Amino acid sequence: MTTPSKPIRAVFFDLGDTLGEATVEGNPPQLVRFDVFSYAHQVLAQLKAHGIRCGLISNTGETRGVAIERVLAATGILEDIDPDLRLYSADEGVTKASREIYERAAARFNGNGTECLFVGEDSNERSVAMSAGWHVCLHPQLVFEVLDGEALQFLRLTVPQALAHSAWREALRSLAFVPLHISGRNGTTVIGATSLRVMLKLVTMQFAVELLGIADLPQKTDLFLLRDDVSRRTGFLQSAGDASLVFTNPTARSLMLSASAEGVLAAVPGDLHNGVDSLHFDNARHGHALKLMPDPMLWTEPAVTSEMSASLRPESVPGPILEELRSIRAEAIAPTIERYTGQRPLGSDAAKRIRSRHILCADNTLAVEQLVADLTAAGQGLLQVGLHAFSHAGRFLYNVEAELSGTSSELVLVTAHLDSTAAVDTHYDPRKDPAPGADDDASGMAAVLTIAECFARLVAIGIPRRTVRFVLFNAEEQGLIGSRAYARRSKARGEAIAAVWQMDMIGYNQDAPRKWELHVGCETSAAVEERSALLAELLSGVVAQVANSLPAPAVFRSNGPVGDPAAGRSDHASFHSHGFPACLVSEDFFVDSPGGELADANPNYHGPADTLVDLSYAAEITRAVAAAAWLSATT
């Protein structure tokens, strides 16, 4: 590190998503665990060694600093953080949404904003800090570039396929370069953030480098990848598409940075995150938007072994297990779907209904609280239920998780997403308008809850070898945000995930036969795809035994005739990007071929009329996934 060229005397860090991942329990949520990112200790120690004071500014809800620090003490992270420079919102009575907390932080060491640097992953909070005169940085690994007066830059770099297996990843890891998104065959296209001087070094190293936007854009914005599905279906040289319509708006046009076969890249300021729904293409399909989040964990190898995957082979479902699985019927999942879509009240109070699970609607919090209650009840004392906290657009959101302990620490995840949207309506107001999301994805939520209840009973037959975790992800509709944060936490913890079973839209069926799909394509890693394909093979192998009204599922892989149209487009992709095997289970939803029609697509997708589910169809898929998940946990 060279001598800082800016008079920065103190660096203040956000906690969650910046220095580590938070796990909370209870209502109101209380911090019970904090997993520090591997690079955080080194960054803090280096700053301290150069005489720069380190502090914290954290939104902590109702939890006081003394309780937060009881948890943090076990991590060792407080050793390099000045006790006088720790500001917790519950103690201060003000959050990072206000300039006041930054002004108080500067006053703590008799300084002013120009002598302070705030490091946080949330562009909204960085914008507030900048309004208080502070310097800002989006990631701890770029701190020293900012201290040296370097401007930060988004860029896309490409490695020739002939050099795909060379040591280029190791070279990038040695630089102040933070990946946000990895794509392309063998993962040779990387969108990231770095400084201009590192960018020039990459050019001399003969990477193909494309600058994305102006200097210091990463300080003020987050990147979103927006996929134009009409254009993708109609093919090359065809002028049909939605991007040309959405980006005619001058405000939207100003956000656009670049376009490629993968989609349009938009740089969205923090104060416009709530308007990302306005960039919803009219004919968008699932996973049309992806938030690109700084994540050095993308470089690291997961704790997954070939021996773990090799054990996941098709086999018959034992008789006692089969008998219990028969309890998964239409009438078992119907009440859950009705409660989470507002068709029936949550309890005895007829007025307590969920109108929408959109992250901007107050009922999203209501859905999270109800999921905690439902999983607790389903577990019959056998499930440890908690919340995984993450931040987006200046607010805390929560994934819900419930763990059924096995005899080993290896994991099997059964998942869906809990949020909803009706953004296909041009005039949709996510704060107050209905977004029932029965198919997308209350059908998946009901499946997870039903499987959790079933597995709690199956423990009486035998404790699974692998620990099973049931997870409901939040903010999927905003760009897979909750699952990306969760997969990052799993990587940071060194968790050994043998299987992820993601259910997203399993309830719509009109045409015979009752087709359904499994998606395991992972173009960036052949090894991840092969391990994921074993999951599809396992699930396909139990269908005839446990769900014989269903035909064999269509299995999509990246090397198939049409590739995998769901690759990167549901929460399973967050785990693929971190090297974990994952399988997406869905109804007959995705395009079968270039220029083809959607085989049996739900016409109410992302609309206020998404209120109907084919319950027997959803129950059959749920039962098949339950059988495969139990086998993956016990074999």
Q: Has residue 251 got a pLDDT over 90? A: no
What is the model's pLDDT at position 593? Answer: 46
Q: Has residue 245 got a pLDDT over 60? A: no
Q: What is the mean pLDDT of residues 88-95?
A: 97
What is the model's pLDDT at position 357? Answer: 99
Q: What is the mean pLDDT of residues 507-524?
A: 93
| Eight-class DSSP state of 184 | S
Q: Has residue 290 got a pLDDT over 50? A: yes
- The confidence band for 236, taking pLDDT boundaries of 50, 70 and 90, is very low
Instruction: Give me the sign of the Cα torsion angle 479, 485, 488, 490.
Output: negative
Kindly list the distances between the CA atom of residue 475 and the CA atoms of 115, 431, 432, in Å, as whole numbers in the listed order: 35, 14, 17
- How far apart are alpha carbons 37 and 337 in whole angstroms? 37
What is the model's pLDDT at position 116? Answer: 97
Task: Compute the radius of gyration of the chain from its Cα atoms.
Answer: 24
Q: For the full predicted model, state whether its pTM sits above 0.75.
A: yes
345 prior amide bond cis, ω within 30: no
Copy the structure tokens of residue 333. Answer: 């999942």
Phi, psi of 26 (to 5 degrees): 90, 175
Q: Report whether 438 contacts 612 (CB < 8 A).
A: yes
Element at 485 (helix H, strand E):
helix 481-493
- The confidence band for 488, taking pLDDT boundaries of 50, 70 and 90, is very high
Kindly list the distances between the CA atom of residue 97 and the CA atoms of 89, 100, 127, 144, 270, in Å, as whole numbers in the listed order: 10, 9, 9, 25, 11
Q: Has residue 484 got a pLDDT over 90? A: yes
Q: Which among 354, 606, 359, 602 has a CA at the least distance from the CA of 478?
A: 359
> For the stretch 508-527, what's the b/e string if a residue is b when 16 or more beta carbons lie within 10 angstroms of its beta carbon?
bbeeeebbbbbbbbbbbbee
Copy the structure tokens of residue 234. Answer: 């109609």
- The confidence band for 611, taking pLDDT boundaries of 50, 70 and 90, is very high
What is the model's pLDDT at position 574? Answer: 98
Q: What is the mean pLDDT of residues 191-195?
A: 98
What is the model's pLDDT at position 595? Answer: 45
Q: What is the pLDDT of residues 45-80, one digit of tens each?
A: 999 999 999 999 999 999 999 999 999 999 999 999
What is the model's pLDDT at position 142? Answer: 98
Q: What is the mean pLDDT of residues 110-137?
A: 95
- The confidence band for 508, taking pLDDT boundaries of 50, 70 and 90, is very high
- How far apart are alpha carbons 579 and 573 in whole angstroms? 10
Q: Has residue 552 got a pLDDT over 90? A: yes
What is the arrangement of strands in the sheet containing 554-556, beginning at the earlier edge strand? 30-36, 20-25, 383-392, 395-404, 467-473, 411-417, 497-503, 582-587, 516-519, 554-556
Q: What is the mean pLDDT of residues 245-249?
A: 57
What is the model's pLDDT at position 3? Answer: 45
Domains of the chain: 10-148 (3.40.50.1000), 152-299 (no CATH), 319-634 (3.40.630.10)
Q: Has residue 238 got a pLDDT over 80? A: no
